[in-house]
Amino acid sequence: MSIHGRDFLTLKDFTPAEIRQILDFALEVKRRQKEGERYHPMAGKMMAMIFQKPSLRTRVSFETGMFQLGGAALYLGPSDIGLGKRETVEDIARVLSSQVDVIMARVFGHDIVEDLARYSDVPVINGLSDFTHPCQALADFQTILESGKRLKGIRLTYVGDGNNVANSLIFGGILLGMHVVTASPAGYQVTESVQAWARAKGKDSGGSLTVTESVEEAVTGADVLYTDVWASMGQEEESAKRSKVFQGYQINSKALALAREDAIVLHCLPAHYDDEITKEVVDSPNSRIFDQAENRLHAQKALIALVAGE
């Protein structure tokens, strides 16, 4: 199968076999890199990187990834473009796609990546939107595979805000046959539309979604424990309120003890220690958080090569 020329906006747009194709190739790309093999499918090619939101991992992994693939990446920050203010998204997509080979965008509204894809003549990769974070999920699933676990049938527990990361874990996890459990306070759970999608798709894949307010219920017997910050970028004004609402929604030694003995712990970073996760757990033998961060590089390299490489 080929996903060459495809946009990568959400994992919902891909079949389970296509997602596994990306993941299997990510493992291969990582092996090649570690063994010092040169692999340059993007030789002479350019990626435009649009950033409405700053990021350590997203910028470094995409820019480094393009370099290692033989190409180059151009950083375009908020002041460089004025996305939707100085120029329309349509005009930006048409101009960029006439001069580069692939576009990555890290934005607020998901409609922006959809509009970029609609008007671009080259593949558009969603580096993050408020709705979904599919590149992060690829790195997450790669890390789970590297820990020696299968994907189908495992219990993946997410504790925290029902945000873009939670959505991506659900989209990919359900398609791959996982049993995804989310523990979030009332009013902060994943939307009903996401839950309805999971129920419908789970009938075919064997996956399932459980949504609960109970951290104890969610973490018990988990193969994977996952969390994210209580207040994401753009929600700074809600930080004080969220700090009160999310008290107890934490991956700590007590939560880890309720999971399976060989459970792994994941966090997409940056972490706020002693809020959503304790430093003790981050430094524990169960943690794969920094392997997960590294895998952003390898998963995205595989994705770029498959959608835009020679």
- Say whether both 249 and 153 belong to one domain: yes
Residue 168: inside a domain, yes or no? yes
Query: Catalytic site residues?
Result: 106, 133, 136, 228, 268, 296
Residue 232: inside a domain, yes or no? yes
Exposed, middle or buried by CB within 10 Å (0-12, 13-18, 19+), for 12?
Answer: middle
Count how many domains the chain has. Answer: 2
- Say whether both 173 and 255 belong to one domain: yes
Closest CA to 309 of 119, 88, 43: 43
E strands within 20-140? 46-51, 72-76, 102-106, 124-128
- Say whether both 116 and 157 belong to one domain: no
- Proportion of the chain above pLDDT 70, given as a percent: 99
Residue 139: inside a domain, yes or no? no
Cα–Cα dist 208/293, whole Å: 26
Residue 3: inside a domain, yes or no? no
Q: Are 117 and 265 in contact (CB under 8 A)?
A: no
- Say whether both 48 and 63 belong to one domain: yes
- Say whether both 270 and 302 belong to one domain: no
- Proportion of the chain above pLDDT 90, given as a percent: 92
- For 226, other C-beta atoms within 10 Å of its C-beta total 27
Q: Confidence band (pLDDT; 50, 70, 90) for 79?
A: confident
Cα–Cα dist 199/303, whole Å: 27
Are β-strands 155-159 and 179-183 bridged in parallel, bridged antiparallel, or unpaired? parallel
3-state secondary structure of 155: strand
- Say whether both 158 and 281 belong to one domain: yes
Residue 143: inside a domain, yes or no? no
- Say whether both 265 and 303 belong to one domain: no
Cα–Cα dist 305/299, whole Å: 10
Cα–Cα dist 234/219, whole Å: 28
Cα–Cα dist 159/182, whole Å: 6
| Token pair in block for residue 119 | 């008007």
206: domain CATH number is 3.40.50.1370
- Say whether both 280 and 211 belong to one domain: yes
| Token pair in block for residue 182 | 């989310």
pLDDT attached to residue 286: 98
Residue 165: inside a domain, yes or no? yes
pLDDT by residue (tens digit) across 174-185?
Answer: 999 999 999 999
Residue 88 scores a pLDDT above 90: yes
Residue 54: inside a domain, yes or no? yes
Q: Confidence band (pLDDT; 50, 70, 90) for 236?
A: confident
pTM: 0.97
pLDDT by residue (tens digit) across 110-133?
Answer: 999 999 999 999 999 999 999 999
The boundaries of the domain holding residue 22 are: 11-133+293-308
Tell me what the pLDDT averaged over the chain comes to. Answer: 96
Residue 1: inside a domain, yes or no? no
